[in-house]
Amino acid sequence: MSLFSSESAWLCLAAAAVLGGMLLCKSWSPGQLRSHVVCLAGLWGGACLLSLSLLCSLFLLSVFCFLLYMSSSDQDLLPVDQKAVLVTGADSGFGHALAKHLDKLGFTVFAGVLDKEGPGAEELRKTCSERLSVLQMDITKPEQIQDAHSKVSEKIQDKGLWAVVNNAGILHYPIDGELIPMSFYRKCMAVNFFGTVEVTKVFLPLLRKSKGRLVNISSMGAQVPFQMMAAYSSTKAAVTMFSTISRLELAKWGVKVATIHPGGFRTNIIGSWDDWDKMEKEILNHFSKETQESYGQDYVRTQKSFLQIMRERSSPDITPVLWDIQHAISARNPSSCYSPGRMTYLWMCFAAYSPTSLLDYIMKKCFHSKIIPKALRTAS
């Protein structure tokens, strides 16, 4: 008897095809589309591994498609209706592009910048509408956060603030965690984590009033253990856990929390050669005698080639990130986690569910530096 001779099997196959097609068409952003495809493929692969009959496999697939479709049935975007959004780190990168994007959609945008007189802030003033306000907002300075809060409150009055997008962040010189100076760890934590927490705490009363959205920009590196990124990835992992707990705690107030885990995108967070020269010098200045003997100064200097590799492997098109953030802000029922970027969702799934030994092997093979410390070169 043919596998597809059963009327029940044909019925389940048709149901799975229809529901799956509707689900994938309804996926609003590339990130959601990838996650749905991976979920469906994973379920089918699991059914095959369990050696379930074709009828059972198709039935499970149909049920899963139905549940996914029902869970995404409330994904329609809410009207903009002059909703107000605060975006931190709007000098460049994601924050800069997002401020422009939301302004074009009709949002009232508060663009927090590190330098109110800098080129990024000036461009926002020239290219955006009068709805956009540029705010001096170094998120490591509590007085600037409070001042921004006062200006936002004055402008929105009793409407409440619809969304806060904690985007501001910094990167560090890519080097072994042992060689990263404590000043780098503290600065990354001050901006990427403590800044996010403080902005959230200050603006939450306004979000509660509107029952709005808190969107925190984390990173793929928060869950995937990339070598040479100990300080940056640790702070983003902290942001992810903070977001997860906040999502549970703020649900009773009607505030929805979403975390964005972008993959490799080309933004100014990578920094310039001058920035890397300064960081390289600071690392070498902290070299102890033992570190010098183990690693050698050339080990640090040659790591700068990683800057070019990061630029080459990063996507210049940040549209997927903007779409996912817009969805997190505007969807009636947003996802709790977004993972824009090529292979980002797959890498995060692999890091979460693969055996440690397999994960370590793959990470070493795919992201292993060819540069060898001085002591290991001597020994070999």
Structure tokens at 365: 């093979």
Identify the pLDDT of residue 185.
96
Beta strand 163-166 with 213-217 is parallel
- What is the average per-residue pLDDT within 123-128? 96
pLDDT digits (tens, 9 = 90+) for 249-304: 999 999 999 999 999 888 888 777 788 889 989 999 988 889 888 988 888 888 87
Give pTM, 2 decimals: 0.82
Q: What is the 3-state secondary structure (H, E, C) of 244-274?
A: HHHHHHHHHHCCEEEEECCCCECCHHHCCHH
Q: What's the number of CA atoms in the CB half-sphere (13 Å) around residue 187?
A: 10
CA-CA distance, 212 to 163, in Å (whole number)? 6
Greater pLDDT, 257 or 8: 257
Identify the pLDDT of residue 42.
56
- Of 118, 104, 123, 1, nearest to 54 by C-alpha is 1
pLDDT digits (tens, 9 = 90+) for 176-190: 999 999 999 999 999
CA-CA distance, 325 to 98, in Å (whole number)? 8
Structure tokens at 230: 């100990």
CA-CA distance, 87 to 102, in Å (whole number)? 10
Give kind and range of the element (H or E) at residue 191.
Answer: none
Q: What's the number of CA atoms in the CB half-sphere (13 Å) around residue 48?
A: 6
pLDDT at 86 over 90: yes
Structure tokens at 257: 């929390």
**Strand ranges, E, within the chain:** 84-87, 108-113, 133-136, 163-166, 213-217, 256-260, 337-338
Residues 62 and 15: beta-carbon distance below 8 Å: yes
Identify the pLDDT of residue 167.
97
Residues 177 and 230: beta-carbon distance below 8 Å: yes
The CATH number corresponding to 84-367 among 3.90.1150.10, 2.130.10.10, 3.40.50.720, 3.30.420.40 equals 3.40.50.720
Residue with tokens 């692999």: 350
The domain limits of the chain are 7-71, 84-367
CA-CA distance, 93 to 323, in Å (whole number)? 14
Query: Which amino acids are annotated catalytic?
Result: 232
Amino acid letter, residue 244 = T
Residues 26 and 75: beta-carbon distance below 8 Å: yes
Q: Which residues contact 137 (CB under 8 A, 6 or more apart)?
A: 88, 112, 113, 114, 144, 145, 148
Identify the pLDDT of residue 48.
57
CA-CA distance, 56 to 63, in Å (whole number)? 11
Give the three-class secondary structure for 135: strand
Instruction: Report the mean per-residue pLDDT for the chain.
Output: 85
Residue with tokens 């960081």: 279
Identify the pLDDT of residue 49.
47
- The 10 Å Cβ neighbour count of residue 152 is 21
Give kind and range of the element (H or E) at residue 26.
Answer: helix 7-26
pLDDT digits (tens, 9 = 90+) for 154-163: 999 888 899 9
Among the listed ranges 68-72, 185-189, 191-195, 258-262, which one has the minimum average pLDDT value? 68-72
